[in-house]
Copies of this chain bind each other. A is one copy, B any other.
């Protein structure tokens, strides 16, 4: 446990090397899968003009901003999310890239949340977005990417489900049931809370629309065939990829934010113990809003946070095994151990040669007992120790997992280590 006297601010996290290695495992996995899907990375400034975020957001976000006046009296905000910057930057650069844009981002976001368990004030989001393509093919590509991120972490259809919904189904339902246009957001808000509200309270809210809760339950449980042609198209697309077992039509999902326009989705662990692992959907009007109508591009995207996925991995043995193997592979290859102090120059020369060849090498920077040097080799997770004694250039190569040793030369060492899957 870290020393409690040296804490970060509440809601902020320190990433000492072990925590950072876990974080990097998430980043590398997201990046690898995104690249496989032909997505390219972008990065937003950490601080933007507050105006940009206010343009985009309704809801509770404005009260949670790290919003300040800078020394030049500018109203600035440390970014609470990435989509506002995405819209601005895509509008600025869209002429330089062939459309549709397939862009992803991995970065810290900041919200002044009430301090409570699992609520962070600095958290990391993986965002993937497709801009400039309004058809279901883009929605399907995006859902497939989200599914493959989960698969790459080691999760199966037993572990998670992508709940897909279509806001247009609810817009049509509202219209057919006489909800006046200005009340539609309120109606969507009732659906958004449907699963979590006590039934009586939900019914109270539905009274305003002259609806019965059980009618809605029936509609959601048995949605009429063909109610969402968009979902059907996405389903068929995923089927062609062999990914249909991960998704279901689930009209409970609405997504709170006002700007979603079509297909929306959330990923949940099947135990449903945690908040959504990921969420997103189509937001066709947002780029126009953010660019003051200068640029109009249909868009669809999702975000996946680092905290929930890290917990899920910890709870799933297959995912944990994959992660631990990756962490082990990321450790040092070789720890040099100096058994004869007069051989220090030779050891340094050997370290340089190994490193030039791409081997990850640690070494004793000051005289130390042999036992302590070997202990360090173990502690840093090195796969091998190389013991350099008076008989150099003959050295001892010790495999620290199998505990076997061979005597070899610097040249033999390189062959041995580079043949090792480097």
Residues in B neighbouring A89, C-beta threshold 8 A: 2, 6, 14, 16
| A340 touches B (CB below 8 Å) | no
Distance in angstroms from A311 CB to nearest chain B CB is: 19
A74 to B313 CA separation, bound complex (whole angstroms)? 34
| A315 touches B (CB below 8 Å) | no
Q: Name the residue of chain B whose CB is nearest to the CB of A145.
A: B355
Within 8 A of B (CB), among A328-363: 330, 332, 335, 344-346, 348-349, 351-352, 355, 358-363
Contact with B along A102-124 (1 / 0, CB 8 A): 11000010101000000001100
A70 to B11 CA separation, bound complex (whole angstroms)? 13
| A243 touches B (CB below 8 Å) | yes
| A88 touches B (CB below 8 Å) | yes
| A170 touches B (CB below 8 Å) | no
| A35 touches B (CB below 8 Å) | yes
Residues in B neighbouring A148, C-beta threshold 8 A: 355
Q: Is the CB of B135 within 8 A of A76?
A: no
Residues in B neighbouring A100, C-beta threshold 8 A: 365
| A408 touches B (CB below 8 Å) | no
Number of A interface residues in the complex (CB < 8 A): 102
Q: Name the residue of chain B whose CB is nearest to the CB of A15.
A: B43
Residues in B neighbouring A95, C-beta threshold 8 A: 3
Q: Is the CB of A40 within 8 A of B14?
A: no
Given A291-B6, A349-B241, CB of A36 within 8 Å of CB of B355? yes
Residues in B neighbouring A15, C-beta threshold 8 A: 42-44
Q: Is the CB of B110 within 8 A of A241?
A: no
- Most chain B beta-carbon neighbours within 10 Å: one of A78, A236, A363: A78
Q: Is the CB of A36 within 8 A of B359?
A: yes
| A184 touches B (CB below 8 Å) | no
Residues in B neighbouring A9, C-beta threshold 8 A: 45, 47-49, 74, 76
Residues in B neighbouring A45, C-beta threshold 8 A: 8-9, 12-14, 122
Residues in B neighbouring A122, C-beta threshold 8 A: 45-47
| A141 touches B (CB below 8 Å) | yes
Q: Is the CB of A92 within 8 A of B41?
A: no
Contact with B along A66-89 (1 / 0, CB 8 A): 101011101010100000010011
Stretch binding the partner chain, chosen from A223-231, A251-259, A374-382: A374-382
| A271 touches B (CB below 8 Å) | no
Residues in B neighbouring A180, C-beta threshold 8 A: none
Q: Is the CB of A43 within 8 A of B66?
A: no
Q: Name the residue of chain B whose CB is nearest to the CB of A379.
A: B98
Residues in B neighbouring A110, C-beta threshold 8 A: 46-47
Within 8 A of B (CB), among A2-50: 2-3, 5-9, 12-18, 20-21, 23-24, 35-38, 40-49
A18 to B95 CA separation, bound complex (whole angstroms)? 13
Instruction: Select which of B5, B13, B37, B72 is within 8 A of A361 by beta carbon.
Output: B37
